[in-house]
Chain A
C-alpha cells in the first residue's frame, strides 16, 4: 500500500482532525459550487477570507454580477464579523496573494484552503506560501466536485509560461520526465514539448471515474498518440510515452506515483497541470516537495485563461451521502505530509 496521507470526505476528515478554529481561505466565483463547498463545512471554521476574483474581460457583465450575488448568498448565515470578502483581479500579483495569506495567518494557525474554484494561478502559489510558512500548523485543501461542466469552461489563454512561483532556478530546457494531466484538453501546452526536450512523457489518465467522461480522455490520448507519431502503451516503463491510470480524486496516490517515477525527485521533471484538480494539487505538492528537498526544481507550465464561463459547473455534485466534497491534509501539527 502507498503511504497514507489523510484524505476523504471533508466532513469526515475535519471531524477526525478535531481542530477547533480553522480559518477558511476560499473563492467566491460565479459558479455556485464555490460557495456551496464552503457552506458545507462552515461550522468547522471560525473565520473566512473569501476572494471574489474578477476576469479582465467578462462577456456578460449583468449575468456575471447576478451569478456572484447568487453564489455569495449561500454564505449569508456566516456572521459578518467572521467574513472578510475581498474583490481582486484575476491577474493579481504575488504580493497581493501574500497579503491575503497574512489575513489568514492573523486569524489562526489552522488553514483550510478551498481550491474548488480558485484558478491554478492562485492556488498553486497560495499552497506554496502556506506550506512554507512555519506559523501555519495545520493545512487542509478542500475540493468539491461539480455537476455538468459548461461546453466552454474557459477562454482566451495567455501564452504558455510557468505558474507564478513555479520556475526553475536556471532555465533548464531538458527534462527526464514530463507529467501531463489528461482532461479538458488544452493542446497549447504541447508546444512546450516542442521547445523543451523531454526523455519520457507521462500521461496521467484520471481513472476512476469511468463513463461518460473517460471517452473524452481517450480522445485526448488519441491526439497525443497521433502527434507523437507512435505507440502509446500502458506498460509502466514503456518508452518514451506511458499512460498511468490514477484515481481523479486521489491526490496522495498521484503524488506517490510521481515520486516513484522520478526516483524521489532525483530525475528532473516538468509539469502541465490539466485534468482533475486533485491531480493538479498533487503536482503542486510534488513541485514544492522537490524544491524543499533541495533537488532540481520542477517547473509547472500553464496557459492561464483570461475568462471563465459564468456557469463553469452548473451545481456542486451531490450524492445520497451528501456533497461530493473532499479534504486533503497537507500539513498536520507542523509536519509536512507530502514530502520526498
Chain B
C-alpha cells in the first residue's frame, strides 16, 4: 500500500474495483449532465478540471467497477442507457498522419484517410463495448438497454458486415470476433503505414473509404432494427486528446495545412437520427476559435450542433459566488483518499480535511505561528511619525503585530493626525473593516519578508483556494504536504485509523514545494509553454515588486491586471496568447465589471493561485486590479519571447493547425 494517500501514479497490479470506486468522486456529475444526455457535448476545461474523470464514466469497464464493488453508479438512473466508444487520438496513432509525406495526396485526401481511420477505431471500440456489456449481469444490460446476451451479439454481424458502408472491404461474416478481426486488420494497416512498416498506403483503402461518422450511424441503425438495443439507448463516442491536435505540427500539402479538427467536427454536424453523439474534451478558447467543419465554410453552432459543458466555469470561484462547486468536490476527494488510506472518516460529512489541516487560520494566527522573537523589529517608521504614535505601535506589536503593521500603513497613508491612546479595538484601522480586509494579506507578506521568514500557507480553506478550481493541483498540494509529513514523522505516519493533525509548518512547506513544482511544470506542457512560463515569471516579478514597494498599500488589488476588451480584439495575436495562457490554467481570465466611469468592458487576469506562494504574491483577489495599458502588456509578452506586431493586419502567430 502506498504510504502517501495522495499518490498519483500507480504501478503494480490493478487497484481493486472496490478501491477504485471509493476513490472516485462523483460530486461533479450532477453539474455535467449534458455529458450523459443525448446530443453532442463539448466539454471544456483545463487539465485538472475533472474532465477525464467525468468522461471515464462513459466507459463500460468503469461502470462495471461500480457493479462489482456494489456501489451505486453515479450517473442518474434515467441516463444510464448508453453504449460508448472511446478513441485516444495519441495512443491510437490517429495523430500520426504527419509522419508520412503526403506529396501524392491533396490535403482533403489526407483528411479522408484520417476520417476512415477514425471510423474504424470508433467501430472497434463500439464492438468492444458491446462484447463487454453482453457478458455482464442482467441488471447492467437492462440499464444499458442491451437485449443481446453473450453469443447473441453475433446475430447483428451478418447485416453489419455486409453493409455497403464498407464499400466491400469488410467481407461478410458470422461472428463478432471475425468482424472485429477485420476491423483490426485495417487499423493495423493504417498504423503500419503511418509508422513506415509498409511503404505505401493500401490503395484499396482510399477506394473503400468510409465517410466520417457513417459507420457508427449504421451500427446504431442495425442494432435498433434488430431490436438489440432499447429505443432510448444512445451511443456516445468520446474522442480523447482532441485538444492536442492543435499542437501537432503537421505536414503542409501544397502550402495548405491538413485540418483534422474540421474532420471530426463534421461528425458532430451529422444529423442524429440514430442517436449517435460525440463527446469532445477541449480547452475553452481553442475550441471557440476554431469550430470549422470539413468540406464547408459553415461552423458548428452551440445549441444546434452541440451543448457546452464549461467545467472551469462550474468549478471556479466567481466574484461573490457562494455556489462554487469546487470546494465540495475537493473535500469529497480528500475524504475518499482518507478512507482509501484506512483512516476513520465520516463519509456523510466532508470534514476530514478540516480535522487534518484545521479549517482556517486568521492572519493574526498565522503571524503568531511565525514565532517572531522580536516582532517590534518588523515595524518601519517614517520621519513624520510622532514619538507617541511610534510608542503606541511598538506596544501594540507585542501582542498584535498585524494590527501594529496596519497602523504603520494607516499613518503612512493618512498622516499621523489621530490620537492613538485608545483601546486596541477602537484604533481607526480596526474600525474600518473593509480597509483592513483589503490590506491584511499584503501586510502579512510584508511582515514575513521583513522578518526574513517565509509566510505561512495553511488551513483547509487556503489549500482549497490555492487549488484554483483544479483537482490535480489540489491532489498535488496534498501529496506534497503528506510527503513532507511522512518524511518528518517517520514511522508515526503509519498510525491508523486516527486522522492525523498536520502541523502548520508542514502544511506551509508542502504548499511552497507544490507552488515551485507547478511553476516548473509549465514548461513541460504543450503549446507555447516556454513563452507562457516566461510571461508568468515576468508579470509575477512585476507584481511582486509592486506589492513590496507599495509601502502605503494603496493598491492592494494590484496582483492582477485588467485590459479593455476592445483593445484585445483589435490585436488578435495578443488576445490568442492570453487565451492560451488561460486555457492552460496559467492565468485566470475573468470578466471585469469596472468601477471606471467610462464603463468600457474589460477583462481581468490573475495568476493561477498555486503560483502565488512561490512568487510571494497574495492569492486572494481584492479591490481593483492594475489597469494595464496595452504597452505594458506588450512589454511583458515581448519579454516572454512572443512576437508581437502592432500592425493589426499582420498575424504573427506561429503557423500551426487552424
Contacts and interface: CB of A to CB of B under 8 A. Distances in A.
A156 B8 CA distance: 24
B530 A307 contact: yes
B561 interface: no
Nearest to B100: A93
Contacts of A94: 99-101, 195-196
Contacts of A306: 249
Interface string B612-648: 0000000000000000000000000000010000000
B91 A231 contact: no
Chain A, interface size category, equals 35 or more
A226 B641 contact: no
Contacts of B571: none
Interface stretch (B154-162, B240-248, B342-350, B433-441): B240-248
Interface stretch (B9-17, B417-425, B451-459): B9-17
A307 B91 CA distance: 23
A162 B241 CA distance: 14
B195 A158 contact: no
Contacts of B257: none
Contacts of B220: none
A194 B250 CA distance: 27
A162 B93 contact: yes
A152 B523 contact: yes
Contact of A178 (B11, B90, B192, B248): B11
A98 B3 CA distance: 49
B292 interface: no
B11 A158 contact: no
B328 interface: no
B132 to A, nearest CB: 15
Contacts of A226: 4, 479-480, 483
B11 A240 contact: yes
A241 B93 CA distance: 28
A156 B101 contact: no
B529 interface: yes
A279 B581 CA distance: 35
A200 B251 contact: no
A93 B99 contact: yes
B12 A239 contact: yes
Contacts of B13: 199
Interface stretch (A4-12, A165-173, A316-324, A328-336): A165-173
B416 interface: no
Nearest to B191: A167
A159 B196 CA distance: 20
A205 B132 CA distance: 41
A131 B641 CA distance: 41
Contacts of A188: 524-525
Nearest to B246: A159
Given A91-B249, A226-B480, A193 B9 contact: yes
A164 B101 CA distance: 13
A155 B526 contact: no
B248 A159 contact: yes
Contacts, number: 140
B7 A227 contact: yes
B11 A157 contact: no
A227 B249 contact: no
Q: Determine the main DSSP class of B at the interface with A.
A: loop
Nearest to B532: A156
Contact of A164 (B195, B526, B530): B195
B14 to A, nearest CB: 6
Of B1, B3, B6, B90, the most chain A CB neighbours within 10 A belong to B90
A119 B529 CA distance: 19
A96 B101 contact: yes
B398 interface: no
B184 A170 contact: yes
A142 B95 CA distance: 32
Contacts of A194: 8-10
A160 interface: yes
Interface string A73-114: 000000000000000000101111010000000000000000
B100 A95 contact: yes
Interface in B529-553: 529-531
B528 interface: yes
B8 to A, nearest CB: 5
A201 B11 contact: yes
Contacts of A187: 521, 524
Contact of A229 (B5, B100, B184, B250): B5
B7 A169 contact: no
A228 interface: yes
B527 interface: yes
Contacts of A93: 98-101, 251
A240 B2 CA distance: 11
Contacts of B249: 56, 91, 158, 306
Contacts of A155: 523, 529-530
B654 interface: yes
A303 B248 CA distance: 11
B3 A230 contact: yes
Q: Which of B11, B188, B197, B251 has its CB near the most chain A CB atoms (within 10 A)?
A: B11
A235 interface: no
A161 interface: yes
A222 to B, nearest CB: 9
Nearest to A198: B11
B108 interface: no
B86 to A, nearest CB: 11
A229 B9 CA distance: 8
A183 B59 CA distance: 36
Given A167-B191, A178-B11, A198-B11, A230 B4 contact: yes
A229 B479 contact: yes
Contacts of A125: 196
Across chains A and B, which 4 residue pairs bring their CB atoms closest together, nearest first?
Answer: A229-B7, A229-B2, A229-B4, A155-B530
Interface of A: 56-57, 59, 91, 93-96, 98, 125, 152, 155-162, 164-167, 169-171, 173, 178, 186-188, 190, 193-195, 197-201, 224, 226-231, 239-241, 303, 306-307
Given A93-B100, A230-B1, 14 more contacts: A91-B98, A94-B100, A156-B527, A156-B529, A159-B241, A161-B93, A164-B96, A173-B91, A194-B9, A197-B14, A226-B480, A229-B4, A230-B7, A303-B526
27 contacts: A91-B251, A93-B101, A93-B251, A95-B196, A156-B530, A157-B529, A159-B244, A159-B248, A162-B93, A164-B196, A165-B195, A165-B196, A169-B192, A171-B92, A187-B521, A187-B524, A199-B13, A200-B12, A226-B4, A226-B483, A228-B10, A229-B5, A229-B6, A229-B479, A230-B1, A230-B3, A230-B7
